Amino acid sequence: MENSISGSQPKLDRKKFKIVKNKSIESEKIIGKSLGYWKDSLRRLIHNKIASFCLATLVLLYILSWGITLVSKTSTIIEPQIPYPNNPSVMVEKRYLTSLPPRIKGLEWIGWFNGKIDVTIARRNLTNPATSWKYKEGTYTIKSCEIDKQGIEMCKISHDMYAQNNVKFLYFPFGTDDGARDQWIRVWYGVRNSISIGILVAIFDIVVGTLYGAIAGFYGGTKIDNVMMRFAEIYGSIPSIVLLILLASILGRGFWTMVIAMVLTGWINVAMMIRAQFLRYRDHDFVLASKTVGASNRRLIFKHILPNVISQLVILAAFDIPAAIFYEATLSFIGLGLPVNQPSLGNLITRGISQRVMLPYMLWIPTIILSLILLAINLLANGLRDSFDPRLRGR
């Protein structure tokens, strides 16, 4: 009976059937390679146009600052005498090169770069022999005149300082200061020194703070952690300005004195952040598993826990650089910054404040450059923070 039933079943022809693909399954297949955390962070940083532009600008600016200052022939101080180009035997004295406004060849039609300054002066002083030597005939043009409350005719003139000092053959893009120092070169030195201070302070803060915070966090809750944290709290209460004054009295004011003074207290915030991250990760399963198989404390710290906080360190360093640059500028304002022979944007601004009326370019040029650098670094830091945020992965 069973044989008859089985024999009566129709045979299926394979040619009458075709394989249909499951579109829902096909749509969920992974076509490309999966991106790791670092590759995905780099991809998001590159796609962030503002952060990428700021990074490229800062790198280019820093490279140019080193290149221009290294190959410059005028240095930051103009020689007491320089040869006249058309006749090398004729020398121009340094006193004729002081306080010259910006002048760029081919851009004289722009008011800021024509080598002239606007001066308000009593009209009688233009003809008075005692004062007229300061305003040679043909070196100035009168813009307007008016009578003041005392009945004195005051005139606003545009004074060509290069013609006045008979140095029309010279061009100083950012002018010169009262010491006949070339502001173009000094500003580039200032950019180099200010950014270098920020980078070095950030590096030392990260290295010292990471080592200190990693040890304290790994042994969190023990006597080691308590002693280290109490020391950090007491030491951190010492103002950095006091340390800077002490160092300056011992080592003298200078570039490395400034860096050391900032690092002496700057690492504490980094150590606190690293300690908190180590307390968070030290009891995770992957750390406990490594400890179970006999991994040493050094391996647990540097191989398993520290890589998980690298992104926070990158972000912290990015914000630490502008903070150090701004702090150096603040110290320069109160007279504790770099000396005059080591230009920084901070001490250039400080010197410009005292001459902002007669020589406004000495204040505005370094101020604008410092503001743009700080803005670019902060925008880059914001971009790094968004790029390394694990919650934004894949976006």
DSSP per-residue codes, 86-127:
TEEEEEEEGGGGTTPPPB-TT-TTSGGGBSEEEEEEEGGGGT
The 140-147 sheet, strands edge to edge: 116-122, 153-160, 140-147
Choice between 21 and 71, residue whose per-residue pLDDT is larger:
71
Predicted local distance difference test score (pLDDT) of residue 50: 93
Nearest to 65 by CA among 145, 185, 155, 178: 185
Whole-angstrom Cα distance, residue 241 to residue 335?
A: 11
pLDDT surpassing 80 at residue 195: yes
pLDDT tens for residues 308-365? 888 888 888 888 999 999 888 888 888 888 888 888 998 899 888 888 877 888 899 9
DSSP annotation of 339: -
pLDDT at 390: 66
Residue 112 has pLDDT above 70, yes or no: yes
Residue 7, pLDDT score: 54
Higher local confidence (pLDDT), 223 or 135:
223
Chain position carrying tokens 């903070």? 323
Region 165-184: what's the mean pLDDT? Answer: 85
DSSP code for 145 = E
What pLDDT does residue 271 have? Answer: 92
**Domains recognised in the chain with CATH numbers:** 91-164 (no CATH), 183-392 (1.10.3720.10)
- Contact call for residues 154 and 134 (beta carbons, < 8 A): no
- For the segment 252-278, the average pLDDT, to the nearest whole number, is 89
User: Strand 87-93 relative to strand 140-147: parallel, antiparallel, unpaired?
Assistant: unpaired
From residue 363, alpha-carbon distances to 64, 115, 171, 229, 352 in Å are 22, 16, 19, 43, 4
Q: What is the pLDDT of residue 285?
A: 84
Question: pLDDT tier at 49 (50, 70, 90 boundaries)?
Answer: very high
pTM as predicted: 0.80
The rounded mean pLDDT for the chain is: 82
Q: What is the CA radius of gyration of the chain?
A: 34
**Burial category of 395 from C-beta neighbours within 10 Å (exposed 0-12, middle 13-18, buried 19 and up):** exposed
Quick check: 137 pLDDT over 70? yes
| pLDDT-above-90 percentage for the chain | 23
pLDDT band at 302 (very low <50, low <70, confident <90, very high): confident
